[in-house]
Structure 1
Amino acid sequence: MQTITIPMAQHISAVKARARSLERYKRNRAVKSRVKTFISSLRKKVTDVVRNDSPKDEVFVLLRTVESEIMKAKSKGVLKLNTASRMVSNITHYVKKNLQTYA
Structure 2
Amino acid sequence: MANIRIEKNDLILEADLADLQVIIEEATNNLDKYKEEIAVIYEKMPKFDYKYFCFYAYSTYRLLETALNFDTDKVGHFRLIAPDEFFYAFYGMIATLHEQANLVVES
Structure with more of its chain in helix, by fraction: 1
Bigger RCO (CA 8 Å, 6+ sep): 2
TM score, norm. by length of structure 2: 0.35
Determine which structure has the larger strand proportion and give its number: 2
The TM-score, its normalising length taken from structure 1, stands at 0.36
Task: Return the index of the structure with the highest Cα Rg.
Answer: 1
